[in-house]
Structure 1
Amino acid sequence: MMSRNQLTSSLIDSSQELSGRHKKTIVRSCSINDIETAAGIIASTFKSNHGVCWLLKHGGKKPQELKKLAEYAFVKALRSQGAYIADSKDGIALCYQNSKSRFSFTELYYQLRFVLTSIRLSHLPKILKRESYRKKVRSQFKDYIYFWFLGVIPKEQNVGFELKNKVIEKARKLNLPICLETSSIRHKLIYERLGFETYHFWENKKEDIRFWFMYMKVGYLQTK
């Protein structure tokens, strides 16, 4: 059993991790040269995330499949100037502005490469149906920043906080809300403590998949 001092120390550490009171981490915008590092971080941190891995051929057991998804997400975010990486190379954040999602041959190449090599084509109708549903739920927002991935290898406690701040900074400049989905109750609670609210919930009990649809209000961003 933890002593009172140990418990107090643990609570302080958790609070500092959330509020970013540790040594400041340097976060910068990505270039295409960061694609391999970004894909490696996401493959490492999402390999057990059922909400992501259900659509892969081998359910996340083969890192290359998850890396192909990560590379596609990276290119899409990079085109929207929404790809951020920690200089320590142990954290990545990917987001994009929904209304600025325009056609690109480069993006199409990475998307097709992911589809043809990493998912079961028999699952494609189900994947497209679910993605269409998620977009429909988000469509209640005229425009928004979509926070797609936040991957952090646990070395420095405040990396995730600094990366999240970059996404908030982008949303504040554009005066837009931030939307995201998470399949993890733990992550849901963390996002709530950061100012996000749940506006929709979806669940498939048979496949044990669920998503919390969350957003951060523009008004909240303006008071940060």
Structure 2
Amino acid sequence: MIKPLPADKPLIISMLTRSFDGNGSVNYIVRQDDKREQRIRALMEYSVAMCEIFGEVWLSDDRKACALVLYPDRQRASFRTFLLDLRLMFRAIGVGGVKKVKARKAKVAAIRPKEKMAYLWFIGVDPQHQHAGHGSRMLQEVLRHSADLPVYLETSMPKNLPWYQRFGFEIYDELDLGYTLYFLRRQ
């Protein structure tokens, strides 16, 4: 696992965009129209930028997997984050979706513990290389790097639950948003 170079950013954004194309939670957030893929890309650009400020962006040594880890206790509002939020609204969510996304964020915040944590926001594998162990190796590296903190995440993909559970994650809550959002933690 390596810290990506600035030149790796387009690779990471592309990998995450393709990996999360069918994800219920991502598609709940982004406006659903003929620009949906561009909107998912904008969400991933936003997520990478936020993790560059308040967390870490990781890339596998072979550049086939990546992870975005956020440290919520480090998050602070600033002019830069305001601009990132504004850009996300116009490029991904749409003005009409802001209320829905804010309500979702509040519901998630009410469930997620306020303790110091490593929040695994996104982990993705190049779709051409999925089911070959790249994601497992990336997750093991993230867990090793975050060994002194509990690791939290959410997923809307029930098929991913057994995979996370193999790495010691447990479901601690669920939220119905028209799809089920599962809350997982690893102490």
* TM superposition score normalised by structure 1: 0.75
Aligned to 2:186: 216
Calculate the aligned-residue CA RMSD, in Å.
2.0
Q: Distance in 2 between the 1:74 and 1:28 partners?
A: 15
More displaced 10-residue stretch of structure 1: 97-106 or 181-190: 97-106
Over the matched positions of the two proteins, sequence identity in percent amounts to 22
Aligned to 1:93: 67
Instruction: Give the letter aligned to residue 119 of structure 1.
Output: I
Residue 133 in structure 1 maps to residue 103 in structure 2: no
Aligned to 2:170: 197
Aligned to 2:23: 49
The structural deviation recorded for 1:142 is 1.5
Q: Distance in 1 between the 2:117 and 2:33 partners?
A: 30
Find runs of 4+ consecutive structure 1 residues off by over 4 angstroms.
none
Secondary structure of the 2:29 match is coil
Aligned in 2, Cα 1:72/1:130: closer, same or farther, shift over 3 Å? same
Instruction: Give the letter aligned to residue 124 of structure 1.
Output: V
**1:3-42 superposed matches below 5 A:** 27-42=1-16
Contact in 1 for aligned 2:54/2:72 (Cα 8 Å): no
Aligned to 2:42: 68
Q: Distance in 1 between the 2:33 and 2:134 partners?
A: 27
**1:51-200 superposed matches below 5 A:** 51-58=25-32, 62-139=36-113, 141-153=114-126, 154-155=128-129, 157-172=132-147, 175-200=148-173
The structural deviation recorded for 1:105 is 4.0
Contact in 1 for aligned 2:39/2:91 (Cα 8 Å): yes
The structural deviation recorded for 1:136 is 1.7
Aligned to 1:18: none
More displaced 10-residue stretch of structure 1: 120-129 or 194-203: 120-129
Contact in 2 for aligned 1:30/1:78 (Cα 8 Å): no
The structural deviation recorded for 1:35 is 2.1
Q: Distance in 2 between the 1:88 and 1:184 partners?
A: 26
Contact in 1 for aligned 2:17/2:40 (Cα 8 Å): yes
* TM superposition score normalised by structure 2: 0.89
The structural deviation recorded for 1:99 is 0.8
Q: Distance in 2 between the 1:60 and 1:164 partners?
A: 33
Instruction: Give the letter aligned to residue 17 of structure 2.
Output: A
Q: Distance in 2 between the 1:161 and 1:38 partners?
A: 17
Aligned in 2, Cα 1:30/1:192: closer, same or farther, shift over 3 Å? same
* Structure 2 gaps, min length 5: none
* Structure 1 gaps, min length 5: 1-26, 218-224
Secondary structure of the 1:84 match is strand
Instruction: Give the letter aligned to residue 151 of structure 1.
Output: G
Q: Distance in 2 between the 1:87 and 1:185 partners?
A: 28
Please say which structure displays the higher CA radius of gyration.
Answer: 1
Contact in 1 for aligned 2:55/2:70 (Cα 8 Å): yes
